[in-house]
Structure 1
Amino acid sequence: MSNSRKLRGVCASPKGKGLLDQARREGKDSEGNRLTYERIAEMALVGERTVRRFFNGENVDKSYATSIIDALSLDYNSVISLEDEKVEEAKSKIAERGSDSSIASELIRDLETILQEHRKNTEIDNQAMDWLKGNRLDLAEEAASAALKECSNQNLFDGDREYAKIISELSKDIIEYLRICHICLQEGTIRVLEEARQQSLIPLNFDSELYQKALIFIKEQKVIQKFTQEAGKTLVACLDYLIAVVPLL
């Protein structure tokens, strides 16, 4: 596959879009005229189409975004969605580490999907967030049990006592995974997940397949069954990220 289609742009965050719109409505050029897309393009030395795309929340080249922001006397970090830069950095690092793995390309697609879904952040995420907080313990234990049954041919335990011990330890790890997902929903950013990965805060005390099976169980048997596609989309995106990244921890 050609590398020419790699996404390397940035976009305005929801807050940033508001700042851009406010600056266009209330701002004036050097001659005291109201700002139009055409005038902003002239001030920033970029195309009008690029300005319109940036104001619409679409990705544009970082240098173009910087020029537009500077022309409007706004702060870069207040306008730009930092998730773009975090995800691009993560994609590069993960691609390097997983270049020999079929998981790498899948993970990159997952990251791009997560980013697109994140930009549609709305109050409906609160439904999944509240449900996750109230059911985290039960979800973790049930998912751990389901994962062990599915991977029973790996001879991971010997007898009921060993089984109970693994269930307990695996459940604790899954609870931590779900806790990170909850923070992600609460803060409205996938940055939490990527920072947890970079700081080695995502536990991995058993074979990665166990964690993947547990997370897939939660996603397919719980979240998708519980919520509409719209209401559960961000939580599903978080779980998809973890499912993809676990083998690369």
Structure 2
Amino acid sequence: MAQPSQKIELYNQANEQAAQIKLDHVSKQFGGTQVLKDISLTIEQGRFTAIVGKSGSGKSTLLRILAQLEQTSSGQLTFSGTDENSTTMMYQDSRLLPWKKVIDNVLIGLPKERTEKAEEVLKAVGLWNYRHAWPYKLSGGQQQRVALARALIRKPSLLLLDEPLSALDALTRLDMQQLIEKLWKQNGFTAVLVTHDVQEAVRLSDRVIMIEDGEISFDIPIRAKRPRSLSDSTLIQIEHEILHRILQRT
């Protein structure tokens, strides 16, 4: 397993409450199937980490453990620099309630007194003009922007992204990548992205980790400066290296 050889420069200023996460020999079993095997990993405060791997590799289970939606079978998960409950998650589908307008979807679980803040985060994701629209009136990309606003209103110390862009068309996906990167840089939270898209992982993250058969098979730092271009030769080289490693294990 390749390990980063030096500390990676951060291109955003980490929020003081941003999460630092440590997994110490974490394993997870479902019945007789071991999904994660002895994972030891530290995710530093304010860092953007991407996790890649084939379907069934264990990457989504790892994300659910970070979200505390699953308990570890063994090992320890610890958070520092934050209240561990200030974690929000975006999924592949927006999970909007169709009987609530956009602003009310952002406010789910919060008092009406937060309406002004909901308007602020909708403005941040470019949807202020749609705050009183019904979800069915929005495109898929716009619905995911609402989901992002719903995550941001809680001022997360840790934002977990479970393939939230995989159902979008290529141009909308690129637009959303740029928006997520912009808001991460502005807010300084820690972000962990699970994705099948190696280009997306390299484009957004400071570090790409591959999970294979429940284990970390490699761990590569991405030191390219931001903002990043898809035509950047450094990024293309890193993307090819990761794809080569994945294909070697196919």
TM-score class normalised by the smaller sequence = under 0.3
Which of structures 1 and 2 has the bigger CA Rg? 1
- Comparing both structures, which one devotes a greater share of its residues to helix? 1
TM-score after normalising by structure 2: 0.28
Q: Flag the structure with higher strand content.
A: 2
TM, length-normalised to structure 1: 0.28
